[in-house]
Every structure is written in C-alpha cells, then in structure tokens.
Structure 1
C-alpha cells in the first residue's frame, strides 16, 4: 500500500487562487486566503458532547478559502470538489438547502450575524485536501476556514472558542448533526507538533507534545463512507442523557457523565436499561483513558498509550457500538504487527478511519499487512497517510 502524499499548504493555496481567478474573472485579485485543518483524534471518542476530555491533533491536510468582498448584496461561493456556483444573501433568515456542502458555510454566516457581526457580501472558492466522509472532520475544517475568512474580511478579532462555537452551531442547525465541540476547537486552536488535551466543558486545553522521530501516526481510511446525521448519533446522545438522569438521582452534583465514576454507575446499574448502562460505561471509562493517555505521551510511554488506544476501540466496538467490521479488521491487522503500540477507530464511527500509533521502523510492515489482507477480506482498497500534529487555522491578506 502506497501512502497518500500530503500536499503542502502553498500548493493548495495556488489551486485555490487559480480557481478564484477562473470562477470570478471580473473580481480582480482576491483579498484573503484563509485555511483550517482536519483532525484525527488519538483518544477520547463520543466524550465531547458529554462534557468530557478528548485528545485530538490537527492534520497537515487543510481546507483553503480564497476570496474578497464583492460590493454587492449576494455571496457567491464555488468549490473545487463540486460543480456549480452557490449564491445567497447574508442575512439571519438563511435556511439550509442544496447543495449540502454549502450549508456549513451558510450556518457560520448566520451565527456571525446573530452575534452582531456584519458579514459583507463576498466571492469565494473552497479547495480542500481533507478527505470527505473519512471521520477526520472535513466539515469542521470547512466551518472554521469560512469563519476565519469572515473574520479577516470583516477585520474582526474573535476569541478562538467563539469561532469554534459558530462552527458547532452551524453543524447542529444546518447539517442536523448534534456534534460536540472537539472538531472545531482543534481545527481552530491546534499547535504544531502537539496534540491538545481539551476539556469540552470549559473549552480549556493543554498542549501534549508528540514529536518523537522514532514514532509515527498512521491514519488509515476504510473507505466505508459514514452518514452520522441519521438516527445512530442522536440516539446515543439520548441514551447518555438517560443514564445521566439516573445518575443524578444518586448525586445531584453530577451534571454530565464526566462527573461520574464507574463505582457510581454500578450503584445505579439496575435502574437503567442495559444499553444506557453500556453507553455510560464507555463515556466514563473513555474519559479516564484519555487523561491517562495524555500523561503517557508526555512521558514518552508509548506502549501504555497504545494499550489505552486498544482499550478505547474495544469499548467503542462493544459498549458504544459505533464500529463496523471494516474498522475492526483494520485494528486487528494493526495489532498483529510488531512495533505497533495501539490502534483504534477515530471519528464518529460506522466507517471512516483508524488511527495507529507505531514505531516508524514498523510502518512498511503495517502497510504491507493492510494491502495484503484488507482488500482480500472486504473487497475494498484502504488508503492511508502518515501525519504529524499540524497547526490550526489562520489567514493572510493579499491586498
């Protein structure tokens, strides 16, 4: 299996500049280039919307937006990945519609307006290297990139958490996805060569350096597309709320699952459904694993961090039931290769990617194993790329 190349940001920007000039030839030279990365989560899955802890890092893959004010009353946006031009008036009455990718942009615009910011009409193009439907937050990358672009053309200076919250609100209202805050926050706030340990209640975060030259992070795409705006994701969120309600009868100070421990959960196990119990057991144990994994990475204890990643996958597979046979196969294959510390599904689940922490010297053996076994058992060719922790969103003014 050949690794997917990582396109340098400068090359993605050049593609975006060319697309802008061909799409809006009458608009002259663009004013702003904004960018925001996708992300991979090392550990801490389905904890963010339960006020818990997560440990993501930004990918080196970015979404780039190039554009300018157009002096009119209508925004016009084009995407390299989709045909056609999207037009809309920037006002609070914007509604979701087709094409679906434009809803992430419209949702961010609406949230700027609701918070009292003016959004000038603009012409813009979108070019992205972040894989769509792979569980590496292509949507959050787009949301944060457009928020950064609006911040730049409006000459605003927003708190990073505010931009992240605008993106999350767009996801909730315009994509019907009740996600947590992790994806947008890491895309906005990422630090080069560091994962971020994020407290999803306070939005505080701490950098966790991950730059050992002998260790690498492999993201492998099962190439099974997932659709999380269906019933599965909201159902699990409700099941967590059901468990929380029972736990609050034990202790009113428990305001979210992150406040509970496994001993408390077991005390009230008989008062909730077996499914709600397992969902809560995953979230509570996953918070513990995430905090421990961050400490292990700080001390270069990669074997222990990898063991926690394996446990995370087992919990996601059995207690939270968001894995699938293709993801399980990739994790099993990775676990059979000497030098692999740990592997797990990453993202919402039901397809998408796995993330594997391993010795760099074992990378070729792992890729060979994936290539030999995965397609044979699934009929699908997986794709993979190596990443290091990248930096967060930013922009530059061209004129």
Structure 2
C-alpha cells in the first residue's frame, strides 16, 4: 500500500481540453475552450456543523480539484450543455428553468446558473466539460468544488468578476436550491477563498476569513476515505440543523454560537435530552476550534491532537453523525499514537461515512497509512483510500 498521489492539475487540464475539443470543437471556429477554471475540495481540521450555528471552522483547501473548460455558444439556443468526465454523462440545462429532470451532479450546476441569474448576472449560453479529482461522497466538498469552478466559468464568459465572498454565498445558495442541502458557508468559502500553505479560521457570523500559516514541513495532513458512502440529502443533515435551531430558540439566543458550555449546563432544564446533546457538541466545538487555531500557530501539536479527539468524541456521542467504520479509523489512529507518528485524528465533513483527517509526522506518513489500511481492512473488510495533502490554493481562472 502506498499513499495515493494527486493527479497533477496540468494533466487534468489537458484531459478536459481534449474532451472539450472532442465533444464540442467541431461546432466552434476554434476547438479550444474560451476559459478553463479550477476549484479545490477541502478538508476541515476541526469545527464540524458549527458553520450554520454562526460559529467557527478551521478548513483548508486540498490538492484535489474540479476543472471546467467552457465556451459560449453561438447558435442562439438558450441552453447550457455540460459533459461530466467524472460521471460519464451529459446534461442540457435551459437558461429558463423548465423543471426538467436532471442527473444528481447537474442539479448543482442548475443551482449555480439560477443563483447567478437571480443576482442579475446575464448567464450566457455555453458548452462545458467538467472533470474532478476530488473524491466523491467522501465529505471533502466535491459539490462545492463543482459549484465554485462552474461559477468562475460563468463569470469569465459573462465578463464579470465578483468578490470571493459573494461568489461563495451564491454557490451556497446553489447547493440549497439545486441539491436541497441546507449547508452552512464553510465548504463554498473554503473552495473559493483558501490560500496555499494556510488554514482558514472562518468566523461564520461575520463571514470574515483569517488565514493561519500551516507551513511546518514535519507535519502532514493524512486523509483516509472509509469508502463508506457519504450522502447528505437523506435528511440527517437538515434534521441536525433543525435540532440546533430549536435548541437556540429554547435558550433565547440567535444561534448556538452565543452559548458557552457553562451556560448550556446551567440551562439544561430548558431543553429536551436530544436538543441538549446536539447543543453540547456545538457549544464545545466552537472553543475547540479557536483553541486549535491558536495551537497550530504555536506548533503545539499535542494540544491540537487532544482537541481533534475531543471533537470526534462529541460528534460520535452528542451529535451522532459518525458511523462504526469512521470510529474504527479514529481508534486505529489513536492506538498508533504519537510514538508511531500520529498527532490526532477525527471525522471530517457532514458525517454518516466519508473521511477522517489525521495529523501525522511527515516522516511516518507512509507507515501510518499502511498500518491504518491493514487494521481497517482486517476490522471491516473494506479497503480504505489514503492520501496526504498540503494546504492548496482556492478557486481560480487558469485560462481565459
């Protein structure tokens, strides 16, 4: 077993442009696309489900990207034609929403187009090809990467350039409307705004990102995909959000961001047991996230590790969004421990499958990944997927 390496972005771009020429080039004066854009997935080091509670998150972009190659159509038809290399399928979307049934991935595209039109931006008819190296269903924001890369393509073809936060908010709206997932702002802000070699401490109330350097070469981020499917449209995500909102209302605050763990304990009688448990995770996770950002800045890795394990325990016991396979991965990492090169580990993403994020000593990363793979396979019969990443750059226009 070896750690998977990312397909170089330049190779992804070559493939997308070739496919664009094959699919649409014969209909153009020139086979090349008018623009090529890219946006990354993200991993959240700590701060889960806090974004829609006006709290704090600490994500970074990963070196897995979604790339879009696109050109405006010149035949007068008000449609967007897209081909997904990742999914191996086509979709045709009318610029005037017509209620047509779309494949799942195209619903995100529908959401982006509609969000930009509602913002007053004239979305041109265009053809586009999409490819992605962001793992699907792993809790690494493949949907946000698609939304942001497509948004950048629309802006480029339309001759506009929105501020990054506005672009991220439109993409969040696209996820709400197109896919029906009531997500917070973390995923889209991460894909749109993160900087290379930095974590982003995002205050989800003020929507102000603060970049925190993460340049220590002796520490790497190991992502392990449990290969248990992650799907947030089944209702569990919306249910957790509703439970948090109910807890905030019972406590008389705008959001759980406004409640400390001590205040929650003192007012426990105002809540039913289940909303209390949900609130206990959120009110503990916000200070954990701020403490983790400070500890990373101070290279206090022991504290970072303790906070990651505490976060995972709260997600497992109070928020109830982990699954046995994810818990197994975290326990294996904990058993390897600092002596074996593991600093800390936790589930990352919305939950119910997906990935763990583990901070490891760089010189032990291969050995840690091998041990996790062997023990996880023995315990579950499932082959995990492991890769390391450095903090990557957010969405950008590559050509055009």
Q: TM-score range by the shorter chain?
A: over 0.9
Aligned pair partner of 2:204 in 200, 204, 220: 200
Q: How does 1:379-390 map to 2 (within 5 A)?
A: 379-390=381-392
Cα distance between partner residues in 1 of 2:153 and 2:98: 19
How far off is 1:97 after superposition?
2.8
How far off is 1:94 after superposition?
4.8
What TM-score do the two structures reach when normalised by structure 1? 0.96
Q: Deviations over 1:67-98 (max 9, x none)?
A: 1001232211001022332112213x354732
Aligned pair partner of 2:68 in 65, 68, 71: 65
Cα distance between partner residues in 2 of 1:138 and 1:15: 19
Matched, 1:146 2:150: yes
How far off is 1:156 after superposition?
0.5
Aligned pair partner of 2:34 in 21, 31, 42: 31
Q: Which residue of 1 aligns with 2:263?
A: 264
Q: Which residue of 2 aligns with 1:5?
A: 5
Asked if structure 2 preserves the Cα contact closer than 8 Å seen for 1:165 and 1:181, the reply is yes
Q: Deviations over 1:169-226 (max 9, x none)?
A: 1111111111111000010001000010001111101111111111111000000002
Going from structure 1 to structure 2, the CA distance change for 1:94 and 1:58 (only over 3 Å counts) comes to farther
Runs of 4+ aligned structure 1 residues displaced above 6 Å come to none
Q: Which residue of 2 aligns with 1:301?
A: 300
Q: Which residue of 2 aligns with 1:172?
A: 176
SS at match of 1:217: strand
Asked if structure 2 preserves the Cα contact closer than 8 Å seen for 1:41 and 1:346, the reply is yes
Aligned pair partner of 1:367 in 358, 362, 369: 369
Q: Which residue of 1 aligns with 2:278?
A: 279
Q: How does 1:111-126 map to 2 (within 5 A)?
A: 111-126=115-130
SS at match of 1:380: coil
Aligned pair partner of 1:241 in 245, 248, 265: 245
Q: Which residue of 1 aligns with 2:47?
A: 44
Cα distance between partner residues in 2 of 1:101 and 1:135: 15
Asked if structure 1 preserves the Cα contact closer than 8 Å seen for 2:66 and 2:130, the reply is yes
SS at match of 1:24: helix
Going from structure 1 to structure 2, the CA distance change for 1:320 and 1:212 (only over 3 Å counts) comes to same
Asked if structure 2 preserves the Cα contact closer than 8 Å seen for 1:78 and 1:84, the reply is yes
Asked if structure 1 preserves the Cα contact closer than 8 Å seen for 2:59 and 2:200, the reply is yes
Q: Which residue of 2 aligns with 1:82?
A: 87
Aligned pair partner of 2:135 in 131, 139, 164: 131
Cα distance between partner residues in 1 of 2:280 and 2:255: 13
Q: Which residue of 2 aligns with 1:358?
A: 360
**Of 380-389 and 150-159, the range deviating more from structure 2:** 150-159
SS at match of 1:330: helix
How far off is 1:365 after superposition?
2.7
Q: Deviations over 1:308-334 (max 9, x none)?
A: 011100110001000011011110111
Cα distance between partner residues in 2 of 1:367 and 1:100: 32
How far off is 1:159 after superposition?
1.3
How far off is 1:361 after superposition?
2.3
Please give the root-mean-square deviation of Cα atoms over the aligned residues, in Å.
1.1
Q: Deviations over 1:84-119 (max 9, x none)?
A: 32112213x354732110011110110110011000
SS at match of 1:336: helix
Q: Which residue of 1 aligns with 2:349?
A: 347
Cα distance between partner residues in 1 of 2:399 and 2:158: 12
Q: Which runs of 5+ in 2 are unaligned?
A: none
How far off is 1:246 after superposition?
1.4
How far off is 1:164 after superposition?
0.8
Asked if structure 1 preserves the Cα contact closer than 8 Å seen for 2:83 and 2:89, the reply is yes
SS at match of 2:170: helix
How far off is 1:371 after superposition?
2.3
Asked if structure 1 preserves the Cα contact closer than 8 Å seen for 2:2 and 2:370, the reply is no
Cα distance between partner residues in 1 of 2:365 and 2:282: 31
How far off is 1:376 after superposition?
1.1
Q: Which residue of 2 aligns with 1:251?
A: none
Cα distance between partner residues in 2 of 1:171 and 1:235: 17
Cα distance between partner residues in 2 of 1:322 and 1:237: 12
Q: Which residue of 2 aligns with 1:21?
A: 21
Q: Which runs of 5+ in 1 are unaligned?
A: 249-253
Going from structure 1 to structure 2, the CA distance change for 1:279 and 1:193 (only over 3 Å counts) comes to same
Cα distance between partner residues in 1 of 2:135 and 2:353: 13
